[in-house]
Amino acid sequence: MSRQFEYAILALGETIAYERRSADDKRQALGVGAAEFLLRVHRQMPDYLRPPFHILVLLFNAWPLIRKGRFFYQLSLDDRLAELDRWRRSRLEFRRRFVEFHVSLALFGIYSNLYGQDYQHDPVVTGAPARL
Amino acid sequence: MTLLSPEHPLASEKITPDVIVIGSGPGGAVTATQCAEAGKSVLMLEEGPHLPLESAPHFSREEILQKYRNAGVNIGFGAAKIAYVEGRCVGGGSEINRGLYHHTPESVLDLWRRGYRVDALTLDELAPHFAACEAVARVEYLPGPAPQLSTRLDEGAQRLGWSSVEVPRLYAYTKDAASGAPGRKQSMSETFVPRFLKAGGMLMADTCATKLTHSDGRWTVHARVNGSARPREIELKAKTVFVAAGAVQTPWLLRRSGIKRHIGNSLRFHPMLKVVALFADELNTPGELEPVHQIKEFDPRFSMGCSMSKRPALALAMAAHPEMIDAVDRDWRRMAIYYVQSTGGTGRVRSLPGFRDPLVRVALEPSDLKELADGLARLAEVLFAAGAVAVYPSIPGYPVLKSLADIGKLPETLSPKQANATALHLFSSCPMGEDSDKCAANSFGRVHGTSNLFIADASLLCGPTVVNPQGTVMAVAHRNVMRAIEDRAI
């Protein structure tokens, strides 16, 4: 994975964490956690998907060069939020799909960090064998 | 007990078992155990790692990274794309599914017998095989009341006069709460795999079979060992091979091995749509057990149920409504995830030159999309009957439904580009039967035109099971391997 790719994913994770409006001071850490999760998913996805997804991330990162003269990861947080929203509302399907894919995974990562305790169980008594 | 480390000197060409089983999911683990208990020397290969059940909580981020193939990112390509998941660890899909358990409906078996000329496949003939599997992997109903998010669906169905059932699970609930867990899931790594090892079976994890060749009456399994720092290639030989790598990986392996007749051409699945329902009162609490109710009123067209609804899963399901994501933090105790799944759709599995992962192409016909749209509307109907105050379809661009009247705002059919369907159950890519015009294997799983090469997983099933398929996969695998042992075919 190239350095530009990792910068873009890190900025994307952070932006998605800030897009969630809940005001708390954990958002930067949550963004880093979400980005780490996204990087793991990119590394593990099917091998024939990795090159096109890599290119898509680089394209997403370079897109603001046209309007702002900067890469996505170099934009201010407000500009990154606006750019993410432009991709989400784009008429081009691949841009919408790109945002859907990364936002859904990043949110799953963020909520896993926030609410890992949800996976703890309370005790219950024994069950009866099923009569099928 | 023989757990072979990939670095172990035995884990090479020096092993000469009678039988090699490729894959350790429900089909492979049952097959390997029966062979080992019949006194055969058996080596079971598994591409993924050998992990304890509690290595990660169910449907957590950690579980997805550890136990799901490709971190859960698998796409069936077509006009309507399908996201599907598979297990990739010892125990396969049984480690990551919820273990909801059914016997195969008689009507499904009738269709398979008539449509594919499968011998000896009535429910009566399968019954002893279900029983044998249930003697090893316990199947239980919940010991007490089901969680509210589950009973709420049942109540909605009752108000509408629809058929709804509590489904048992492959789960051993326990009195002993010392561990803080409600019991033990009866996945393969908890049940058949330990029994296989106790019977002298050999298990090699982190080992991916990449090709099969046949010469001098023996099969050679070419494999790549991934456990060591540097992957290496090995060759293993046996008279008999069972391929049980799942409905996508099995046809991928066979086609790479030059075995292509009716292999990978007829993949089927249960396409699924999800919604998040918001209720007026609280029904979702931390530590809640898995929901178990399913609505069967519309079988075999589509069925409905409740999904695990912890906050990370709710966030994932609500991602289609990003403006509402904060509602998960605020209202999660009043939210739960429900699904509708149908039986439509077909697919093909192919290997791509130069790449490891199989390419899956899927097709959902207009009638399949209409069926899913009808199912989605019915699901919303039952949730409003159950007391929901809002229903959020997990489909980007779809409206939030706030009343029964809003159901009329849903499109009459799904747009292929918008469908956003997922599939947890895949099968039928190598169907069994005596009809040589469409079957890859005979009625008992032996690949047509080969000797001592068997398929032993969901690939063999001739079509959708309508219900959760793990019970059927285990019973059919048990039936087939018992026949092979009785016939001295192995």
Weakly modelled stretches of chain B, pLDDT under 70: 1-3, 5-13, 175-181, 228
Whether residue B343 is found in the same domain as residue B288: yes
Same domain (yes/no): B383, B486: no
Any A CB within 8 A of B289 CB: yes
- B289 and B409, same domain (yes or no): yes
Same domain, yes or no, for B346 and B434?
Answer: no
Q: Which helix (H) or strand (E) holds B383?
A: helix B366-385
Amino acid at B382: V
pLDDT for residue A24: 67
- B267: which strand partners? B347
Q: Domain map of chain A by residue range?
A: 3-115
Residues B371 and B295 in one domain: yes
Q: Does A115 contact B171 at a Cβ distance shorter than 8 Å?
A: no
- Nearest alpha-carbon partner for B361 in B56, B58, B37, B77: B77
pLDDT tens for residues B123-182? 999 999 999 999 999 999 988 889 999 999 999 999 999 999 999 999 998 765 344 457
* Pair (B285, B168) in one structural domain: yes
Residue B174 pLDDT: 76
For the beta carbon of residue B437, count every other beta carbon within 10 angstroms: 8
- Domain of B452: which CATH number? 3.50.50.60
For the four alpha carbons of B237, B243, B249 and B254, in that order, the dihedral sign comes to positive
Among residues B412, B427, B442, the one where a domain terminates is: B427
Q: What is the pLDDT of residue B6?
A: 53
**Does A109 sit within 8 Å of B141, measured CB to CB?**
no
Neighbours of B175 (CB within 10 A): 12
What proportions of chain A, in percent to the nearest 5, are helix, strand and coil?
Answer: 70, 0, 25
The answer to whether the CB atoms of B144 and A125 lie below 8 A apart is: yes
- What band does A125 get if pLDDT is binned at 50, 70 and 90? very low
Buried-exposed string A19-47: b where 16+ CB fall within 10 A, e elsewhere = bbeeeeeebeebbebbbebbbbbbebbbe
**Which of the residues of B are catalytic?**
425
Q: Does B312 touch chain A (CB under 8 A)?
A: yes
Q: What pLDDT is attached to residue B178?
A: 41
- Asked if residue B308 and residue B163 are part of one domain, the reply reads yes
What is the number of alpha carbons within 13 Å of residue B258 lying toward its C-beta?
Answer: 5
Which of B427, B445, B467 delimits the end of a domain? B427
Contact B73 A46 (CB under 8 A): yes
By Cβ distance, the residue of B139, B287, B318 closest to A130 is B139
- DSSP string spanning B92-150? THHHHS--B--PPPHHHHHHHHHHH--SS-SHHHHHHHHHHHHHHS-EEE-SSPPPHHH
- Angle of helix A50-62 versus helix A3-19 axis, rounded to 10: 70
Residue type for position B286: P
- Distances from the Cα of B432 to the Cαs of B22, B258, B437, in angstroms? 18, 19, 11
B438 at interface of A, judged by CB pairs closer than 8 A? no
**pLDDT value of position B179:** 44
Contacts of A91 (CB under 8 A, 6+ apart): none
Q: Is the pLDDT of residue A123 over 60?
A: no
User: Do B67 and B171 have their domain in common?
Assistant: yes
CA distances from B47 to B4, B7, B56, B130, B226 (A): 13, 15, 19, 27, 8
B102 and B193 co-located in one domain: yes
Inform me whether the C-beta atom of residue B219 falls under 8 Å from chain A C-beta atoms: no
- Region at B418 (left for phi over 0; alpha for psi -120 to 50; beta for the rest): alpha
Contact B293, B387 (CB under 8 A): no
> Looking at B427, B452, B474, which one is the last position of a domain?
B427
> Do B197 and B254 fall into the same domain?
yes
Contacts of B472 in chain A (CB under 8 A): none
Residue type, B216: D
pLDDT at B228: 65
Mean pLDDT for chain A overall: 88
If one counts the domains in chain B, the total is 2
Q: Which domain holds residue B421?
A: 57-88+141-184+267-427
Q: Could B175 and A111 be called an inter-chain contact, meaning their C-beta atoms sit closer than 8 Å?
A: no
Least CB–CB distance from A44: residue in B71, B329, B356: B71
Q: What percent of chain A has pLDDT over 90?
A: 73
Residue B65's CATH number: 3.30.560
DSSP codes joined into one string, B237-275: EESEEEE-S-TTHHHHHHHHTT--TTSSS-EEEEEEEEE
Out of A49, A108, A130, whose CB is closest to B61?
A108
